[in-house]
Amino acid sequence: MFEITFSRCILLVLLESIVVYCSYDRVYMAHETKDGYETCSQRFKESIGGEISGLARPYEKQLNCTVNIESPLGTMLTIEIKNVNFVTAYPSDCNFVKLLVYDGSSFETSNIVPSFPNGICNQSIPSQVIKTRSNTLSVRFEVSGNTDDVTFQAVYTSYTTLDDGNCIFCSEGICIPEELACDGLGNCADSSDENDCKPSNTFICLLYTIAGS
């Protein structure tokens, strides 16, 4: 038996009593052609956590990819930029490759990454986890002048500041959904949600939800 749900990126495979699935969303930001311009747009609702990654190759056209992530009402979101590889002819120029993060679904608000007011546009990444004040997070990946493959990876997590009995406290003072524990993805800043995991509680995620292809 195979059951696949792309909107939540949950894969259930039952074959000879073996179950393999993932408990978090995975988002891949890449190219999609629309009216001659490379763009993509995707919205995820009721998402409790996940991984975002992006890729643009030098032979592809310019990319302007946007993802909106909405967590359950009453929660907020964190995002941690794990790594970036933004190779351009002008690495200090944010006009060619940049990653922008916004609090809310509108890009009229300010980019919320501290110390990166114009977006992340070189090999440096924020040293701290970024928190929203709402339950919606928007990420924009813009590429127009890369000389090599440009990539990034980030992890986002819904959280509250109060223990409702169904969450796990992280060392940074936030409480994350207990479903995110032992899923193979570090949602706490120190990845403590992946400690003391039994092999049977470690899930393997095999599919991506694609924002543009």
What SS3 class is residue 93? coil
Q: State residue 63's pLDDT score.
A: 82
What residues have CB less than 8 Å from 195, skipping those under 6 apart? none
Q: What is the reported pLDDT for 177?
A: 93
Q: Which residues contact 165 (CB under 8 A, 6 or more apart)?
A: none
- pTM for the whole structure: 0.79
**What is the structure's pLDDT at 18?**
37
AA letter at 6:
F
Position 174 scores a pLDDT of 93
Predicted local confidence at residue 175, as pLDDT: 94
The predicted structure's pLDDT at residue 137? 92
Question: In this predicted structure, what is the pLDDT of residue 163?
Answer: 83
Collapsed DSSP state (helix, strand, coil) of residue 12: strand
pLDDT at 7: 36
Rounded distance, CA 99 to CA 72, Å?
25
pLDDT tens for the chain, residues 1 to 213: 333 333 333 334 333 333 434 567 888 888 754 454 445 767 888 999 999 988 888 877 788 888 999 999 999 999 999 988 887 666 666 778 889 899 988 766 667 776 777 788 877 788 888 999 999 999 999 888 766 888 899 999 999 998 878 899 998 889 999 999 988 888 998 889 988 887 654 455 544 444 544
Task: Please state whether beta strands 136-143 and 33-34 pair in parallel, antiparallel, or not at all (unpaired).
Answer: unpaired
